[in-house]
Amino acid sequence: MADLSGKLGRKQEEAIVALCSNRSIEDAARACNTPARTLYRWLKEREFDAAYRAARRSAYGQSIARLQQASAAAASTLLKIMIDPSSPPSCRLRAADSVLSHAAKAIEIEDLDARVSDLERATEATKDRRSR
């Protein structure tokens, strides 16, 4: 939001923080001491809406980063359950199925990434030939 601070007032910036940290617009209105109808009106304004969406994307990005940081521990947990003979068979089966499913999905993503990269290179080569 720092890049939009010149466009938004202090009260609107406080409202965006409240909107991002409360469960409803009414709760956010109480938190920032602004009438709910004012928040609804601001949400219809292009600059405010853009700043609010940017703040939400930033918060979401931080959440995803936390999940990615925890993925190594999650993978270790799955593998431990999968190979632990004292785990119930249903848990071991579910862990094994999850490992296989995630591994297959990772291969699909890598394949798609390679295909997109090939297409981007081909597009660039075509642009280069046309510009000559």
- Is residue 41 over pLDDT 50? yes
Reported as half-sphere exposure (CB side, CA atoms, 13 A), residue 66 has a value of 6
pLDDT band at 129 (very low <50, low <70, confident <90, very high): confident
- Please give the residue that has the higher pLDDT: either 4 or 114: 114
Judge residue 94's burial from the number of C-beta atoms within 10 Å of its C-beta, 0-12 exposed, 13-18 middle, 19 or more buried: middle
Q: What local confidence, expressed as pLDDT, does residue 128 receive? A: 86
